[in-house]
Structure 1
Amino acid sequence: MSRRRPDPSRSQDRRSGWTPPQRGLFDDDTGSGRRARSTRKTTRQPSRSRQGSRRASTTQPARSRRAKASPKKHARRSHRPVPPRPKRRRQREKITERAARKVVTVASTSSPRSGRKPFMSSPRARLRLMATLIVLGFVVIMGYVVKYQVVDDGNLRAAAASQWTRSRVLSSDRGSIFDRNGEELALSVPAVSIDVNPRLVEDPVMTAAALKLILNLSDERTDYLTAEMAAHERGFVYVKRQVDVSLGEQIKALGLAGVNVVPEDRRILPGGTTGRSVIGLTDIDRIGIAGLEYQYGGQAAAAADGYDDLLTGVTGRVSYEVDKKGQPIAGTDEVIVEPVAGHDLVLTIDRSIQFSAEQALLSQVKAAGAKSGTVVIMDVRSGDIYAMASVDRDDDGSARVSNGNYAAVNAYEPGSVAKVITIAAGLNEGVVTPESSFVVPYRRTYGDDELSDSHKHDTTPMTVEEILVQSSNIGTIDVLEATGFEAHWNYMRSFGLGEKTALDFPGESAGILHRWDELQGSERYTVAYGQGVASTSLQLASVINTIANDGIYVAPRLVTATIGTDGDQILAPSSATHEVVRPETAHEVQDMMRKVVCEGTAAKARDTVTGFTVAGKTGTGLKPWPNGSYVNASGQKRYYSSFVGFFPVEAPEVTILVSIDEPDAALGYAYGGDAAAPVFAELVPKIASVLGLQPPANAIGCEGDD
């Protein structure tokens, strides 16, 4: 029997007893054999006995079969003594053994005996994988192309444009306010605002000095701007707003880095202060803050009060390019969103009559040493307001046209003007006639108080007509008692007291009118002649206008039309009306009021009136002091003096109210006939001239008139 050649792969180190692993186990396509050989150079492999057990679990090469044929020889070799190995070396061998087991497991699963081909062993499979990866990559790339070119196209363009373009709000044109004849009362004119971006300013000191010189800035403002620009922290600081366009052009020509000139509008009143009390005010951003500017253009604040915004319009937006210094490049403006202009208002106000009323009132407030005054002029039939003026005094005591519409927002005791309501109620109820007579003393006790007339007189019979002409307080109470407290209260409500007028003017007062059954003591009686009740000048003018309009109450009106952006005029609805007293009752009261001017307390109401017959009623109310009394510790009284009348008596056209607040009694202006009636007389011919009114051919006049 021939001797078999020794297997080199089964060579054994007799000194250490180490047997190398089978070569066939690691000769696969993965290169495991090479890794195993490299491992063999640095680590000692497990003993022959362990190696044999591992091979038994996988394959049985020739050497293993020979071991079975000669068990004695195999056993002799496996039990040869092995020199001891260091602990760290044994640990490395264990790690190597575990790695070898994993390799053997992989080799066994891919062996021909398993019936499976190794993964990616075929060139066609590798080609398919490569094609699949290429297709997936192409799909991903196309997805990004679609995303950036279609979906995010706008965002990317915006991001790029933001680096060299800017945008700003493009203000809409605020609607103008016209008088009844088309004369401008309020309009917007071009202006500019100057602002600075401190981060872009190159020379803060020089820039601040240039702005100070052109804009006439104060030293404090200049120092503030210099500090802000030097800090380079903020991105926006206003320098000055509402600047004349020519000054803006000068600043723009300097090309100062970081300084911007932005167009805006400025609100002006072409007539100066004419109509300011009614028109109101806007803030620097052209948002209404008072008067009609607020009522029809106060934006969010006005909307919260229930007002419709007609004047403001809708803002737009404009884009422009900037250079590397952030300065706008001329000629690059492009409107992104077109602004929509606000609507125009056409008022019932006549600018000429308004001006005349304000000037006459200013003169009288100065002459009477008064605190303030109001005038209301309205058309008898339509209720249209021709003028509504308010005058007060500024901090240095000078009389001026007020920013506030005191005729609508302030309420005072009307005084004897309220006697017209009491007399008309008695006549309309049929409990009295103009000739009905009452015995009227100078004073009488009501409740716990003693009430009296304004002038001492003997106890005497007085007709209802004389009671009104002579303005008797006690006589008016007699008519009230004949009418009844509840009926009288109902008439006061029907005349418009105790509630706001249809104007719904911002801040308008409803006055004070307690129910008849809520009044106690003498207050139940004093309301007959205008004490214990409060009304605005607007309400009081409407009361007398009802008498002039043959007993028909007509609500006052300030806006006659609006004009849209298309130029079409939309007429406002006519004023609401209701009957308060019968026409015959109104005619009786009209004649009595004519005699008040001709024979009674309002003689000064016709001093400068020629050709027209006028009628009216004076009123002198008292204002309570802070202590609640009408008389202070020094015995002084504060008066609120009025006169309300109309002309011509034969066919009334215009109603005029004049009220003077706190006239100086020492100067002889305490009563309405002295403080207010002269203003009425001054206004009648001016109003007649503006409106083209002519005295009627059948003018009644006063007895003794030529």
Structure 2
Amino acid sequence: MNTTRRVDRARSFTARCIAVAAVLALVASICLIQLANLQLLGKNTAIAATQGRTTKVAVNAKRGRILDANGTVLAQSVERYNIVVDPQLATEFKPTDCTSKTKNYCQQIDGKPVGATGAAGVARLLASVLEGTSAMELGGRISEANNRYLVIAKDVTPEVKRKVDALGLGGIVYGELTNERVYSGGTMLGPILGGVDAEGTGVAGLEQILDKKLTGTDGYEVYQRGNGGSEMIPGTLTDSQDAVNGSDVTLTIDSNVDWYVKKALTDGVKEHDAEWALGVVYDLKTGGVLALEDTDQYEAGSSDAKLNASRVVSETFDPGSIGKVFTMSGELQEGIHKATDKFTVPDTITVDGQSYKDASNHAAKNWTYAGILKNSSNVGMIMAATNYSDEKRYEYLKKFGIGEESGLGLSGESPGLLYSWRNWDLRTRNTVLFGQGYTMNALQITRAIATIANKGVMPSMKIIDTVTDANGHTTAVPSGDATRVVDESVAKDVLNAMESVSDLYSRIVSVPGYRIAAKSGTAEVAGADGRLTSIVSDWVGIIPADNPRFVVTVVMKDAKVNALGGLSAGPVFAKIGEFLMQKYNVSPSPARTDAIPVEW
């Protein structure tokens, strides 16, 4: 009996021990599982948190500058910021009242409590420093946003960004560095410089033409942000690449000259009650264009500057009597005439049933060919062209660049219009001799006359001088090829005859101390009604004539006071010429002693 009980107690004890061991094993297993879960899940959570804080932030490259020949900045990108709100964090915002303990991180508006929480509170604070911002409208935008990134202000200044930072909204509101394109000259060179779009890409003018050179390469940084904000947690930068700024481009333009040209043109339009005027200054010494302006008032970077081409390149017109220079050059080159050949020139002539007349009535005049050019006789040019074939007339117009772009590559340039000689009618074949029946722009006129100033060689024109990359390496932009059009002796005689033209206008078009070789032009052109109801007055001059340095072209449309080119565009040329002589300290001209006779 006792033995049986002892056996039962032993069995019972053993069972209890087994049960306890099983419970302990179960508890241990649960603990181990929980520990494993905590370790694994905790690690995953930590990884997830780190990943959530880690971001790749673009480091914007700065767009290169556009500078004038003196280093004056014409276009540049300046430091600006986009103000960004995290709408999710904004809805959780609770302002901290300002006390002696919280004064370094509290929020208030003009010394008073914010008076609202969430998006409304954030909006109130932001509206207090963002001028022109409605707190109510901004609060609505933040509340309705369904993402964590909302730009509420673009291109604010560093000063405004500092005011935003001082609101104590770190993690909710932050500034992203961006750039704004600014132009120093206002309306000077407006359409020539053009502008950029909202992303900073060149879309017009030189900004578009030079976009690849001006555009840099953005960099990046990979780091962890604190509390959803923009500030980097120290020591968390894991990867980065520096931004490479765009190259700077230096132009041949002298902004001082360009400014003066625009002023002279604007004053000339007022004085002569004209519709518009335009001008070009070309430097034979450097091959660069120093100025190209018109009287339009489009500010660089504006919508107008992006949508409109400069009149200097887009406006084409019959050059009028300036075209006589090309005719005389061709005939002298072909040996048909010399500048001293003698003609008796009436004021009217009829050829192939077509009648032509000079600008003023006169008795028959005994003029040399140089005299025909000086007196700008249409009749004389037709008389001299008896043995000058239509094919040759066309050939030399082409050689002087008519019907071709100037080579500057500017946006909106029109090549003008020159029909093949095979398509000329009986009248056009003669009007082309004195600058009618084809069209040019002011740049083309300048380059063509520069051929005479350059001893018969048509020079290449350039407006881009050098490119300097982000490392400071400067590369000169090569000029195009120069082309001989006429012999040096021909160019010398034509230049001489053009100086006689200038002598004719010396009372109203002169630069004291300097000789000028020039040609004026006046041509009827199509008006708004499509008929020949408008007048273009132009003047192109070489100064100094004895040692050519500058070629200056001035064109005026519908001058109601003194419509003739020599009386309207000429005086504007004189003002520009005098400025150039003083600015560049050009040596005065010696007295003229080699004039080709103009009468016999």
Query: TM-score w.r.t. structure 1 length?
Result: 0.68
Q: What is the aligned residue count?
A: 521
Gaps of 5+ in 2: 1-39, 92-117
Larger CA Rg, structure 1 vs 2: 1
Q: 1:677 aligns with which of 570, 578, 589?
A: 570
Measured after TM superposition, the shift of residue 521 of structure 1 is: 3.6
- Structure 1, unmatched stretches of 5+, are 1-144, 146-154, 298-308, 631-636
Residue pair 1:320, 1:329 contacting (<8 A) in 2 also: no
Deviations 1:201-225 (A, max 9, x none): 3344444444444332266xx7654
Encode CA deviations 1:379-400: one digit per residue, 9 max, x unaligned: 22442111122221579xxxx9
Output the CA distance in 2 between the equivalents of 1:518 and 1:208. 72
Match for 2:69: what amino acid?
A: R
- Residues 441-493 of structure 1 deviation map (CA, whole Å, 9 limit, x = unaligned): 43445667644322233454543222211212222233344322111211111
Letter of the structure 2 residue corresponding to residue 656 of structure 1: V
Q: Is the 8 A contact 2:84 2:175 kept in 1?
A: yes
State whether residues 309 and 411 of structure 2, in contact with CA within 8 Å, keep that contact through their aligned partners in structure 1.
no
Letter in 2 for 1:294: Q
The residue that corresponds to 2:405 in the other structure is 500
Residue 197 (structure 2) pairs with residue 283 (structure 1) = yes
CA distance in 1, matches of 2:217, 2:46: 27
The 2-side partners of 1:216 and 1:490 are apart by: 64
Does 1 or 2 have the higher relative contact order (CA < 8 Å, sep 6+)?
2
Q: Does 1:388 align with 2:277?
A: no
Q: Distance in 1 between matches of 2:515 and 2:551?
A: 13
> Residues 415, 205 of structure 1: CA spacing in aligned structure 2 closer, same or farther, 3 A cutoff?
farther
Q: Pairwise mapping of residues 385-424 of structure 1 onto structure 2 (< 5 A)?
A: 385-392=289-296, 404-424=309-329
Contact 1:469 1:599 in 2 (8 A): yes
**Amino acid of the structure 2 residue aligned with 1:215:** L
2:158 is aligned with 1:245: yes
Q: What amino acid is aligned across from residue 166 of structure 1 in structure 2? A: T
The 8 Å contact of residues 155 and 180 in structure 2, kept in 1 or not, is answered as: yes
Aligned pairs (5 A) from 1:622-701: 622-630=524-532, 637-663=533-559, 665=560, 668-697=561-590
* Match of residue 73 from structure 2: 184
Contact 2:280 2:553 (C-alpha < 8 Å) held by counterparts: yes
Q: Tell me the CA shift for residue 695 of structure 1.
A: 0.9
Deviations 1:107-147 (A, max 9, x none): xxxxxxxxxxxxxxxxxxxxxxxxxxxxxxxxxxxxxx9xx
Task: Pick the aligned partner of 2:131 from 201, 206, 216.
Answer: 216
Match of 1:270 in 2: 184
Residue of structure 1 equivalent to 2:231: 329
**What is the alpha-carbon distance in structure 2 between the residues aligned to residue 173 and residue 615 of structure 1?**
47
Change (3 A) 1:240 1:653: same
Measured after TM superposition, the shift of residue 415 of structure 1 is 1.4
Q: Structure 1 residue aligned with 2:140, among 224, 227, 230?
A: 227
What residue identity is the alignment partner of 2:206? L
Distance across 1 between alignment mates of 2:149 and 2:432:
61
Q: What SS does the aligned partner of 1:483 have?
A: coil
Distance 1:641 1:196 in 2: 59
- In 1, the alpha carbon distance for the partners of 2:451 and 2:247 equals 33
* Structure 2 Cα separation of the partners of residues 240 and 570 of structure 1: 39
The amino acid of 1:534's aligned partner reads T
AA of the residue aligned to 1:684? G
1:178 corresponds to which letter in structure 2? L
Q: How big is the shift at 1:190?
A: 1.3
Which deviates more, 668-677 or 542-551?
668-677
Distance 1:424 1:445, change over 3 A: same
| 1:127 paired residue number | none
Residue 89 of structure 1 is matched in structure 2 by none
> Structure 1 pair 363/234, CA: closer, same or farther in 2 (3 Å)?
farther
Residue 556 of structure 1: how far off its partner (Å): 0.5
Paired AA for residue 326 in structure 2:
I
Query: How far off is 1:185 after superposition?
Result: 2.4
Contact 1:604 1:678 in 2 (8 A): yes
Matches of 1:198 and 1:414, distance apart in 2: 64
- Please say if residues 418 and 530 of structure 1, whose CA atoms lie closer than 8 Å, have aligned partners that are also in contact: yes
C-alpha contact 2:78 2:179 (8 A) present in aligned 1 = yes
Q: How does 1:77-476 map to 2 (within 5 A)?
A: 161-202=50-91, 203-217=118-132, 225-256=138-169, 258-297=172-211, 309-324=212-227, 326-329=228-231, 334=237, 336-392=240-296, 404-445=309-350, 450-476=355-381
Shift of 1:366: 2.8
For 1:676 and 1:514, the matched residues in 2 are separated by 28
Shift in alpha-carbon separation, 1:165–1:591, aligned structure 2, 3 A: same
- Is 1:617 equivalent to 2:516 in the alignment? no
Give the C-alpha shift of residue 360 in structure 1: 1.4
Note closer, same or farther for the CA distance 1:206–1:584 as it changes in structure 2 (3 Å cut): same
Contact 2:195 2:305 in 1 (8 A): no
Distance between the aligned counterparts of 1:472 and 1:200, measured in 2? 83
Aligned-residue Cα RMSD (Å) equals 3.1
Cα distance in 2, alignment partners of residues 216 and 278 from structure 1: 33
The aligned amino acid for 2:509 is A
Q: Is the 8 A contact 1:597 1:604 kept in 2?
A: no
Is the CA contact 2:194–2:305 (under 8 Å) kept in the aligned structure 1? no
**Percent of residue pairs bearing the same amino acid type:** 28
What TM-score does the superposition give when structure 2 sets the normalisation length? 0.79
Supply the distance in 2 between the matched residues of 1:268 and 1:353 (Cα, whole angstroms).
21
How far residue 684 of structure 1 moved from its aligned partner, in angstroms, is: 1.6
Instruction: Determine the C-alpha separation between the residues in 1 that align with 2:547 and 2:441.
Output: 26
Deviations 1:35-61 (A, max 9, x none): xxxxxxxxxxxxxxxxxxxxxxxxxxx
Q: 1:617·1:644 contact (CA, 8 Å) conserved in 2?
A: yes
Residues 526/171 of structure 1: CA separation in 2 closer, same or farther (3 Å cut)? same
Question: Conserved in 1, the CA contact under 8 Å of 2:187 and 2:297?
Answer: no
Aligned to 2:166, the other structure's residue is in SS state helix
Q: Deviations over 1:152-199 (max 9, x none)?
A: xxx999965441133332211211222223332222221212233444
Q: Residue 21 of structure 2 aligns with which residue?
A: none
Note if 1:523 corresponds to 2:523. Answer: no
Measure the CA separation in 1 of the matches of 2:46 and 2:356: 85
Match of 2:10 in 1: none
